[in-house]
Structure 1
Amino acid sequence: MSRQWQDLHSPDSRASLYLRAASKRKISGHALPTGGLRSLIHVQPGNLEAYRRLCHFTDDGRLPATYPHVMAFTLQLQLLTSHDFPFPLLGLVHLHNRIDVLRPLGGIDELRFAVYADNLQAHAKGGTFDLVTEAEDGLGLLWRETSRMLVRGLKLDGQADDSQEHAPSALPEMTRWYADTDIGRRYAKVCGDYNPIHLSAISARLFGFPKAIAHGMWSSAMALAALRTHIPTSGYRFEVAFRKPVRLPSEVILSASEAGPAGELRLDGQGGLLHMGGRWAVL
């Protein structure tokens, strides 16, 4: 498919994009737009340092592999709230996240991002699509992320996919951390993701959650930071499937394989509740 690109000097303000998101509550179509957005985005050193502190990354001279997601977040918002995007942003569920680090993420002041939606499929609970984000430097493609999103209530022709992501078997415990009541608000302040389900119990209940839940990408980043000595510095894939949400506050336990070119991880809550399963592998 020949994709048509819209090049932006910079994304719109997050405030205007969230207002646009709040105004759309219903599904308006059954086909993804064929275009995508591109923009040059600069690293903000203060924001990068705040992100490292929040997610426990050490400063090793490279961007954390999850940080380009933060850099591109407003561009993603603009795509998902565009007039031709058929699904409301509020209510989308992040099921799976895959990040490919093709080359080392060091010495970077800016990246050129491209964002588009692809791969619409029927699902037992509605439909899914992939939100694809790519980052280039002067040498070409450097980093790629694919986020699988669930649209609840969408009716599509075709066989519904009701398969569950592979759940890693028992693994040795590596570390644990406590997800405070306000971690959703602190993550939103740094990363810009102000989804109401993460901010407070009151706002979460408006969307069917009894308590606020942690951002999936915060849990993923915390796991990646803890696994920094297990995973190569480049030329690898890191992917996670989000299972049961982490209700705030709560303690979680990260278990993982030994260091090596490939391995598995899982994030559990008390009572054996699986919050996240994942894996890494060299490309």
Structure 2
Amino acid sequence: MATRTFAKAPSTAPLMLKAALPAIPGVGSLPGVKHASGGAPDLVLQRPGVATDADHLERYREVCGFGRAESLPVTYPHMAAFGLHMALMTDTAFPFAPMGLVHLRNAITQHRPIAPDETFDVTVQAADLRPHPKGRLIDLITDVTVQDEIVWNEVTTLFARGRGGSAETSPAPLEGLEAPSSVVHWKLAGNLGRRYGAVSGDRNPIHLYPLTAKAFGFPTNIAHGMWTKAHALAALANRLPDSYRVDVEFKKPILLPSTVVFGSREAGGVIDLGVVGARKPDTHMVGRVTPLA
């Protein structure tokens, strides 16, 4: 297993450009651009000694709806991992070109809260390339450690459309879960993708402007899935334990601007949640919070 170490977060702007190159006719097959067709790359990316910038944390809390607290928002370590995700996906050893991949599922396990003044290490690797009825799936595994203790873990499941026909090797974690009914409305502005992109570094064109999103087949720009997950957990902040796992599945993109409805229900300490359209009740996201024993 090869290891690549980053002293600071990779700059996402050039990586976004690199991610777009394979989609350009005649360029995607060139050496240094064409992606391998094998399995998950035998590569680990790591960034040690990550410190939280107080101003960035405040901007993240503001755009996602988190209040001030003595610990980082549960989704915040994803910010430290995103550049590593991009570096891994744009490596030609990765089996898919990044543009066109769909962020299908996301699971975060918080083993304990992380204080804003704690320094942590981040490692990222790809694993479990597997079939899907409409293509293939692959996971990006992220571990956050403090003095060799794993305090946070994330599994980002990406879907690559293509020849499928084979059932998944294991059931989808949230299979059959319906979004809880509710009357809590979120009114999302057209510039939400640009605001979250400025904080997260995820400036994928599908999130920024109607024109750039249309170039990739969307009628207008769409909200980031990780913003939706973060905003849902911000709404539940006072009901969450210190240690838990939160799984979500992204069902359908949220077109911007729009109004959606957020709902949740709790039973036995487990919280189910969901986001649906306000005018047309399409399910955009379902999720489940499970306390750790």
Q: What's the TM-score, normalizing by structure 1?
A: 0.92
> In 2, distance between residues paired with 1:107 and 1:225?
17
Moved more, 116-125 or 26-35: 26-35
1:39 aligns with 2:37: no
Q: Partner of 1:266 in structure 2?
A: 274
1:152 aligns with 2:161: yes
Q: Partner of 1:30 in structure 2?
A: 38
Query: Is the contact between residue 214 and residue 248 of structure 1 (CA under 8 Å) also seen in structure 2?
Result: yes
> In 2, distance between residues paired with 1:276 and 1:145?
17
1:108 aligns with 2:117: yes
Q: Partner of 1:123 in structure 2?
A: 132
Query: Is the contact between residue 185 and residue 262 of structure 2 (CA under 8 Å) also seen in structure 1?
Result: yes
**RMSD in angstroms over aligned alpha carbons?**
2.0
1:257 aligns with 2:262: no
Out of 161, 164, 171, the residue aligned to residue 168 of structure 2 is 161
> In 1, distance between residues paired with 2:83 and 2:69?
26
After TM superposition, list the pairs within 5 Å mapping 1:157-236 onto structure 2: 159-161=166-168, 165-169=174-178, 171-173=180-182, 175-232=184-241, 234-236=242-244
1:21 aligns with 2:19: yes
Q: Which amino acid aligns with 2:263?
A: S
> In 1, distance between residues paired with 2:51 and 2:84?
13
Query: Is the contact between residue 33 and residue 85 of structure 1 (CA under 8 Å) also seen in structure 2?
Result: yes
What displacement does 1:282 show? 1.1
Moved more, 76-85 or 56-65: 76-85
1:52 aligns with 2:61: yes
Secondary structure, counterpart of 1:193 in structure 2: coil
Identity, % of aligned positions: 37
> In 2, distance between residues paired with 1:259 and 1:252?
24
Q: Please, which runs of 5 or more residues in structure 2 have no aligned partner? A: 29-34
Q: Partner of 2:247 in structure 1?
A: 239
Q: Partner of 1:71 in structure 2?
A: 80
Q: Please, which runs of 5 or more residues in structure 1 have no aligned partner? A: none
| C-alpha distance after superposition, 1:139-174 (max 9, x if no partner) | 511100001001122x47x83339774343463526
> In 1, distance between residues paired with 2:113 and 2:271?
20
Out of 256, 272, 278, the residue aligned to residue 248 of structure 1 is 256
> In 1, distance between residues paired with 2:80 and 2:268?
29
What displacement does 1:259 show? 7.5
> In 2, distance between residues paired with 1:191 and 1:169?
29
Secondary structure, counterpart of 2:199 in structure 1: helix
Extract structure 1 runs of 4+ deviating beyond 6 A.
none
